[in-house]
Structures are given as C-alpha cells and as structure tokens.
Structure 1
Amino acid sequence: MFNKVVTNQTKTMVLLMLVFTAIILLFSGLVYFSIVNFSHQRFYELLKIRTTTIIQIEKGKDNLDLPENYILNGLNDEELPMERDYVFAIPSDSNFKKISDEVHIPDYFFKSIVKKGEANFNDKEFYYIGQTFKHDNKNYIAIASAKNHYVVYYLGFLKRTLITCIVLSLFFSMIFSFYLSKTLFKPILKITGKVKEISSENLHLRLEPQPDNKELNELIDTFNGMLNRIETSFETQNHLIGNVSHELRTPLTSIMGEADVALSISRTNEEYKETLGIILNEAEKLDKKIKALLMIAQTGFDGKIQKMDKVRIDQLLWDVIETLRRIDSRNNIYLDISMLPDNPKKLKVQGNEQLLHLA
C-alpha cells in the first residue's frame, strides 16, 4: 500500500479534460437531436404534401369507390421510399377497430385525426400523417405513410460520424490539456527549481520576474523581499560574530593583564584591592558588552525595543579613549573639548550607552 500524490498539474489537466469532454458531448448532443428533430419535421412536411395530393386526387373523382384493401398505389412517379397511401371512409359509429387490425395502424391514431382534423404518428420505422376531408357529403380520412430513410440511414451515418469526432476530440483535448497545464505550471516549476538553488551561501540570488504574469510577479516580489530580509539578517549575524570576537577580547585582555601584573610579584593589600577593582570594573564592562551584543543579535528579530537613557557624550568619548588605551598603550588619541558647550545639559543625548560604546 502506498499513497499516490496527485500534483496540481495533474488535477488541472484532468479538470480541463472533463470541461472539454462536457462541452463536446453537449454540443454533439445538440447537433444530433437538432438534426433528428429537423428530419422528423421535414419528413412530416413531405408526407403532408403527399396527403394533400391524395385528397385532391380523390376529390377529383366523380364517384369515390374505395377498394377492399383501402390502399392506393402508384399515385405518381415521385413516391417516397416504401410509401403507402390510404383512404378510409369514417365509420358512422367511429369504431376503427376493424380498419386498425387490417392495416396495423393504432385505432387511437384514427380517432386523433377525426378529433383534430390532422394528426401524425410514427412507429420508429414508418411515419404516418392523416387528414380528414369531405366528398359527396361523406367524411373520409386520407393517410400517407413512408419509411424515413433519412433517419434510418443518414442519421445512422451522422451518429457514427459524431462518435468518431467525439473520440478524436477527446484525444486532442487530452493533448491540449496536457500542453496547457504544462504551460501554466512551467513558470511555477521554474521558480521552484530556482528556489532550490538558493542557500545560505548564495543569498544574493533573486527570482526573475515573469513577462505578462501579474499574479506570479507579485509572488516573486514578495519572495525576493523575504530574501532581502534574510540576507540582511545573515549579514547582521556575520558582523555580530566579528564584533563579539573583538569586543569581548578587549576587557578580557585587560582582566588577564591586570591579573598577570598582580601575580608577578608580591604586593600590598591596597595594590591587590586596586587590581581587583580594575578587574571588577572590566568584568562589569564585559557583562555590559555581552548584554549589548545580545541586544544587537535580537534587534529586528523579535521586535524588542532597546533601552534608551540620557548619555553624557563627553563622558562616553573619554570611556572609549580609555578602553582603546588599554587595548594598546601605543594608542595616542587627542580629544579637543574646546568646542563643547558650557551648558552640561546640551552634552546629554538619548541613547544606549553600551551600543554607542561598541559603535
């Protein structure tokens, strides 16, 4: 047992085939039944002409003496296929049972002719149409019947032709559905292949817009925007790693340097206290730097807001100079404070001291 995964491309192809099949069958049915109905109506019109001809011929006779079999043969040379024409005198009791048994025509057909003056009937092989008429003050029924070769032969040919056309149409619709579904999903498959090529090593790659495809281009723009954000995040993390290795090394160097100096020779309690104070101060700076770096790592990822305080910009500069001197005693930095304002309030800015120190 295994699960078969049906792709959207396959579903689309099947759906298109079903739609095409329904349309083909619908129009084929309309064509067939329209022609069948037309052929029936047309054949009844021909039979009606024959019935009218029979009535005119019979009315032209001086004395209408019906033969025993009630069948008229050889009216003219333009007879319909297997044509049979009948003329009956309407019985006084309107009982057509005897006539119906002799000519094998349902008696209700005769009654319908008498009631409506004209009626038609078919038994799937022969078509009948009848009319009533008067001659010498007597009521008669004239019936023309024939076999509809058009229905029997031509519509049979039409049915075979339509079936062949339906089969061919289904075959070509299958090919067209496959081609159309493949064309519709080709850009998506192309994008999928391109997305699979993108990894952390090549985040600079971007999806190319598709011509004349607004909906797909909106998806591409959204995905490219996401890649931009991811690439920025990766770059931020890479810079963060560099900053961590640099910023953490500085206080650690100071701590280890002070510890080495303190342990190199015996010192007084005051000197040890001073050394431990410097080590504690550097450890506190290290703790603050770690927190600041963690804040940088979290900035823009979880929406945390950095803590802002009033910072003395001149004090911040002196701290940075002191830190750089501890990193390397050869650093000789000169700070010109002649342009600083006299009002100490103007020296304060709103910011994060540790992040400004790192910067």
Structure 2
Amino acid sequence: MKIRNILALRFTSATAIVLLIILGSIYFFSEQSRYKEFYRDLKREAITKANLFLDNRVDAKTMQSIYLNNREFINEVEVAIYSKEGKLLYHDAIEIDIVKETTSMIQQIIENKELKFNENKYEAVGLVYSFNNKDYIITAAAYDGYGHSKQASLQLILLISAFIGLGLLLILGYIFAKNALAPVSKIVEEAERITASNLDLRIPVNNPKDELGELSMTFNNMLDRLEQAFESQRQFISNVSHELRTPMAALTAELEIALLKERNTDEYKKAIEYALNDTKEITKLSSGLLDLAKASYQPEQIKMSNVRFDELLLDARNLVIKANPDYKVELIFEQIPEDERFITVYGNSYLLKTALVNLMENNCKFSKNKSSMVQITYWNNMSIVRLSDTGIGISPSDLEHLFIPFYRGKNKNYAKGYGIGMTLCQQIVQIHKGQLQINSEEGVGTTYLIEIPHI
C-alpha cells in the first residue's frame, strides 16, 4: 500500500475516532439530561397528586378518572400513596398497577428516603413524603415517550452525521495526503531521471527548512559524493591503464625484438634481463594498486589491533634495506616512554608498515646520500613519527597536488615512481584517524610528519 493511502487511512481513522467520541458524548450527555429532567418531573407530579389527595382538595375518584382519561392521549404519571406501615391509601389505577409495590420495596424506600428504578419500559421513583408531620410513601411511574422520541431523533441525526463525516474525512484525508506528498512525487520523478550518465542532475529544493527540503539536500549531497566517486573511478582506471601500458609495451617490444633473429647467449640473457626488469616494474605497480585498494576500504572492514610504532619502524626499515641495499635508514629513539601505551596505536600493522616503507623510500630516493632519518616521539594523545631527508625537496606547486593519485611532479625524472605512494600513505593515516603533514623546501629537504592517536 502506498504511503499516500496509508496516511489517508490513518488521518481518517484518527479523526473518525475523535468524531465518534464527540458524537457519542453528545448522545450520552443528552440521555443523562433527559433522565434527570424526567425524574425531576416525575417526582414533582407525584408530590402534586399527593398534596391534592392528602389535603382533600380533589377526591380519589376524580383523580383516577383524570388519570384514565389522560392516559389514552398522553403518557400520564401513575401515582400510588402508601402509609408508612405499607397500607395502600390511593392508587391511580390499581387494575393497571405499573409498579408492583412490595413490602421489601416500601422498606427500601423508607431506608433510602428516595429510590429510582425501572419497571420494563417505565421509569419510576419512590420517595418518603411528609405531610402534616406524618410520613407517607409515594411511588410514581411513567413512560417518557417525548424524551425517548427526541433521543431517537438525535440518535438518527448523529448516525447520519457520523456516516457523512466519515465519508468526508476519507475524501479530505486522501486529498490532504496527496497534496502533502506531492513534493515527494516530484522528488521521485526527478530521481528517476538521474542515471550514471547524468550524475550532474540534482533534486530541486523548494524549502530547505522543511523535512522534504532536508531530504532533497541529503539526496543531493549523496549525488555529489557519487559523482565524485564515479569521476575518481574513471580517472583511476584511466591512470592505471596509462601506467600499465608503458611497461607492458616495453616488455612486448623487447620480446619481439629478441625474436626477430637468431642471437647469441649473451644477447638473449640481456633481452631476458630487460624483460625481467619490466616485469618487476609491473609487479611493483600492481602491488601499489592493491595496497591503494586496501587503503580505500571502510575502517570497519579492516582488521585492527594494538600495535607498537617502534616495532613497526624496525620492520619497515628492514624491508626497505632488504629491497634497496644502498639505502640508509637511521632510527632515532630519543623519547621512549616507560608506558608503552604512548607509542601504541590501534590499527592495521600491514597498512601502517606500508605507509612507513613508502615514506622511507621517498626520503632515500630523492636525496643524494639515499638516507632517511626517522624519529619517534609522543605528545598529548598522539604518537608521532617524523621522517626527514636532505634531498631535492618539493616545489610549492607540487605540494598542492601531492595526494592526487598518479600525479608526478617536477622531480619525476630524478627517480622512478607511479604517483601512488603519497595517496596511499594519506589514506592509511586517515583510516587510523591521524594526520600526515609534509614540510619541504627545494634544495633543502623534505620532512613527513605522521600523528596518530595512541591507545
């Protein structure tokens, strides 16, 4: 069921309940008013007849004749008068006798002074009445034809009003829900037009302060992120294809040249050596791309544990020296705390080690003495690693684009690379809720500063 219909039904149900409660209250209080008014008239009629009889102003036969004559045309009150001892003194029509007075009933009237009750469709009252310092028991009964007729008319009016009201509420509820959700339908229409080929389209925002405006803005923000992700993906694929094309083309050309004619053993060895170097470059590029993909995972997808930064530095240094025997990495532990928690972070050891290896290699390959000086310390809630060199440095213009994937600056001819390392390092540090800062001056050197919260 559509939300429009659900809202219409809920609106109608809620207002219908309120309407029925109001109409029911009207009928209930009207019935209570009729009941009280009729008993008041019934009591007054009983006392009037009792006064006429007990004061001997009208004889019993005349009163009975009036009752019987009027009873044919109106709902006359039948009155009976008893002495306190239960002896019948007067009755309007003993042969009809609506109220069947018994000794127990009379006794109950005496005890309660006044008693209201029903005899089938008749409403009756019994009361103790004093006349000339003597108590009498009076009962009176009658059928409130006029009152019940009014109540029946009111009941019919209320039922008709309820049915008409419910019908109007259902129609108004549907119109209300349709108008209220019209902007949602507009959002749906606009959203259906948005595809992967036109992610630049956006949902119109009529009122940014209401809920639908907030929904539209949230949706537009999501589209911004999706567009950016799609663009990054396209750019990434384009860059990967471009970077892989060069070593693959070189590898293919070298193998084709080697097959053009018969060669001696040394020439074949040299061709294989060239092909092997190109293969290593492809492998290195593929490894970097895999690491970049891992660093793009959500934090909850990455296995985390408590790792010591000093141990990571030692492992990273060993990896760098093993892969590049001519590199020099000097580790300086000037401020090792007694509490190891200050240099222990919650993170992924593989990713952190990958970032450290990349930064160490950057120091080494862009400095003439091929060295990197690494210091570890802590401050407040941060574990800090500083990696510096005395190399060629980075220009201000290159610093602005350093974290763009596959970007190569002015120093690209100084050392081989693919423009992946710095992007990878930044993503790894961000996954660990840290910061990567770069301070560099051309001809002086570069310093990388990693700050990650310790446990």
TM-score, normalised relative to structure 2 = 0.58
Task: Find the aligned partners of 1:12 and 1:126 in 2 and give their Cα distance.
Answer: 48
Task: Find the aligned partners of 2:98 and 2:367 in 1 and give their Cα distance.
Answer: 125
Post-superposition CA distance 1:268-303 (Å, at most 9, x none): 544443333223222221222233344445553456
Task: Find the aligned partners of 1:55 and 1:265 in 2 and give their Cα distance.
Answer: 145
| Mapping 1:280-295, distance limit 5 Å | 280-295=276-291
Q: Tell me, what secondary structure is at the counterpart of 2:198?
A: coil
Task: Find the aligned partners of 1:263 and 1:183 in 2 and give their Cα distance.
Answer: 77
After alignment, is 230-239 or 253-262 more displaced? 253-262
- Structure 2 unaligned blocks of 5 or more: 303-350, 369-407, 418-441, 451-455
Task: Find the aligned partners of 1:138 and 1:320 in 2 and give their Cα distance.
Answer: 132
- Cα distance 1:54–1:321, how it changes in 2: closer, same or farther (>3 A)? same
Q: Tell me, what secondary structure is at the counterpart of 1:88?
A: strand
Partner of 1:204: 200
Shift of 1:51: 3.0
| Counterpart contact for 1:20–1:173, Cα < 8 Å | yes
Counterpart residue identity of residue 200, structure 1: A
Partner of 1:37: 32
Counterpart residue identity of residue 192, structure 2: K
| Mapping 1:1-359, distance limit 5 Å | 6-61=1-56, 66-67=60-61, 71=64, 73=66, 81-84=74-77, 86=79, 88-90=81-83, 92=85, 94=86, 102=95, 103-108=97-102, 110-123=106-119, 125-134=121-130, 139-209=135-205, 211=207, 214-264=210-260, 268-297=264-293, 299-302=295-298, 305=351, 307=355, 308-310=358-360, 311=362, 312-313=365-366, 320=413, 340-341=443-444, 346=445
Counterpart residue identity of residue 193, structure 1: E
| Counterpart contact for 1:66–1:87, Cα < 8 Å | no
TM-score, normalised relative to structure 1 = 0.71
Shift of 1:38: 0.3
Shift of 1:146: 4.1
Post-superposition CA distance 1:141-175 (Å, at most 9, x none): 44554442332311111011011001111111211
- Cα distance 1:228–1:296, how it changes in 2: closer, same or farther (>3 A)? farther
Task: Find the aligned partners of 1:127 and 1:44 in 2 and give their Cα distance.
Answer: 8
Counterpart residue identity of residue 190, structure 1: K
Post-superposition CA distance 1:298-317 (Å, at most 9, x none): 55345674642322226897
| Counterpart contact for 1:240–1:293, Cα < 8 Å | no
Task: Find the aligned partners of 2:133 and 2:264 in 1 and give their Cα distance.
Answer: 159
Post-superposition CA distance 1:300-344 (Å, at most 9, x none): 3456746423222268977736889xxxxxxxxxxxxxx734xxx
Q: Tell me, what secondary structure is at the counterpart of 1:86?
A: strand
Q: Percent identity?
A: 23
- Cα distance 1:213–1:101, how it changes in 2: closer, same or farther (>3 A)? farther
Aligned residues: 321
Task: Find the aligned partners of 2:411 and 2:9 in 1 and give their Cα distance.
Answer: 76
Counterpart residue identity of residue 82, structure 1: N
Whichever of the two has the greater Rg, that structure is 1
Task: Find the aligned partners of 1:70 and 1:53 in 2 and give their Cα distance.
Answer: 11
Partner of 1:357: none
| Counterpart contact for 2:53–2:60, Cα < 8 Å | no
Q: Tell me, what secondary structure is at the counterpart of 1:107?
A: coil
Post-superposition CA distance 1:78-126 (Å, at most 9, x none): xx9432353534274x266x97964231215544444444434443644
| Counterpart contact for 1:128–1:143, Cα < 8 Å | yes
Structure whose residues are more often strand by fraction: 2
Task: Find the aligned partners of 2:295 and 2:134 in 1 and give their Cα distance.
Answer: 112
| Counterpart contact for 2:16–2:166, Cα < 8 Å | yes
Task: Find the aligned partners of 2:282 and 2:133 in 1 and give their Cα distance.
Answer: 133
| Counterpart contact for 2:114–2:125, Cα < 8 Å | yes
| Counterpart contact for 1:113–1:119, Cα < 8 Å | yes
Task: Find the aligned partners of 1:13 and 1:295 in 2 and give their Cα distance.
Answer: 54
Structure whose residues are more often helix by fraction: 1
Shift of 1:32: 0.6
> Which has the higher relative contact order, 1 or 2, with Cα contacts under 8 A spaced 6 or more apart?
1
Task: Find the aligned partners of 2:78 and 2:261 in 1 and give their Cα distance.
Answer: 145
Partner of 2:395: none
